[in-house]
Amino acid sequence: MSLTRRSLLTLGGGLAAASALAACGSNTGRTSEPTVAPTAGSGAVPALSQWYHQYGEDGVEEAVRAWAAEFGGATVNVNWVLANYEDALAAALLTPTAPDVFEYANGPTLDMIKAGQVVDLTDAVGDAASQFTPSVLARMTYDNKIWAIPQTVDMQLLYYRKSVLAAAGVDAPDTLEELTAVANAVATPEMGGFFAGNDGGIGVLGLLLMWAAGVEEMNEDHTEAAFNTPDLYEAVAQYKALFDSPGMVKSASADWSDASPFINGETAMQWGGLWDLPKVTAAHGDDVGVLPFPSAGGAQVVPFGAFSACVAASSANVDVAKEFVKWLWVDSDDKQVQFSDAFGTHIPAKPALFDEASQVASGVGSDAAGFVTDLGRSNALFWTSASGQAYSTALSNVVLKGADAASEFGSAADAVTAELKRVNG
């Protein structure tokens, strides 16, 4: 599996656990052999290896290599992994040549933490913990310890054409039922109403339906599934009504993570990513509005994901590696702003830096950043790929096949509870 913004933010299945990925093979995907750090007392400057997944935006690789060269405490060798990042990393973490520093989506998995593959970074973050968006840092916290440092935040949101809604005499929707009504009102033979992927949004909207219904994935003790409720059934019924409506677009020129359907006028509203904001505003200017996912009996919500820096426990220079990630992602505000603002549109992990990031300092970018602070959610650390698959299967059966919601989500809840027993074991 290639780690991308789409895998980071596709919340139906969640991110794969390291234990599952380790079984995918020995291909490391390395662009070069990792550097082996000198042993303590050798007198040489410590050497660190740092892994990034391949970003799609121009300039990112050059920037992170330049920053690595600036660090005075070690020689930092950046490894730009071209493909199969998660597979390569999971395999490497089981070997003596694991990277000292690596990025991962929303911090390390629970399996990584419990296997002792990563180190506690609480002291590296220190008093600066209060500077980070609380919900973002909370996703990287387990057992009251911080296991990763956020690099930048990505998010999903709903794009809409203001003029199209105004011409149809409808307001921007606040609820899922209103979204259905608006989608149907604005749809024409030339332009659809709402698009959330070529599967009708089943893949990307899964957990959003749960949260919009006011339902949680699991109980506070992380021991039992908590989503199997009538409130979820009602939210899914509302979504099925949208899915089956004439305003729903189920086939477009690109999938949800690419805003081309919205840009091209194939749809008046699209669920997409903030990373496409420059292209969207270049096409439609001030005619673009942004919204969170509407409430379905609970609250409005937006999902976020944060690529984050981790330190491998197997590093021969753990203390130096911790100093490096602290310097880069805690102390160097200028680099954090550049990482968020210069390569697409992203949100700094520190709200105090929003005004310095030009693309989220004002207008719809500022609206989007505020959604993350006020309404942001991410899949729980205990929500594994197995749990996500069980839930997604139930959702698909209900929406596509008309299966009984209580039966389907009851079975999914049993599977999730069993998975929670495993991860808590």
293 and 246 assigned to the same domain: yes
Q: With cut-offs at 50, 70 and 90, classify the pLDDT of residue 43.
A: low
Q: Both 14 and 149 in a single domain?
A: yes
pLDDT at 21: 23
Asked if 146 and 177 sit in the same domain, the reply is no
Mean pLDDT along residues 288-304 = 97
Looking at the predicted structure, is the pLDDT value of residue 135 above 70?
A: yes
Clarify whether residues 139 and 193 are in a common domain: no
CA pseudo-torsion sign 38, 41, 46, 48: positive
Domain identity same for 72 and 205: no
Asked if the model's pLDDT at residue 10 lies above 60, the reply is no
Q: CB of 93 within 8 A of CB of 108?
A: no
For the chain, how far is it from start to end, CA to CA, in angstroms?
Answer: 27
> Does residue 96 carry a pLDDT above 90?
no
Quote the pLDDT of residue 2. Answer: 43
∠ Cα 373 67 82 (to 5°): 85
Q: What's 26's domain CATH number?
A: 3.40.190.10
Q: In this structure, is residue 22 part of a structural domain?
A: yes
Give the tens place of pLDDT for each residue, 305-325.
999 999 999 999 999 999 999
Number of domain units in the chain: 2
Q: Does 59 lie in the same domain as 92?
A: yes
- Residues 240 and 297 placed together within one structural domain of the fold: yes
388 within domain boundaries? no
CB neighbour list of residue 389: distance below 8 Å, 6 or more residues apart: 13
Could you say which DSSP state residue 11 is in?
T
Cite the DSSP H helix spans in 244-332.
260-263, 277-284, 318-326
pLDDT of residue 26: 28
Do 222 and 91 share a structural domain?
no
Asked if residues 60 and 71 have their Cβ atoms less than 8 Å apart, the reply is: no
- Give the residue with greater pLDDT, 283 vs 25: 283
Domain that holds residue 226: 156-302
Residues 128 and 93 in one domain: yes
- Give the pLDDT score at 28: 27
Which ranges in 105-264 belong to alpha helices (H)? 110-114, 122-125, 134-138, 162-168, 176-186, 206-212, 230-243, 260-263
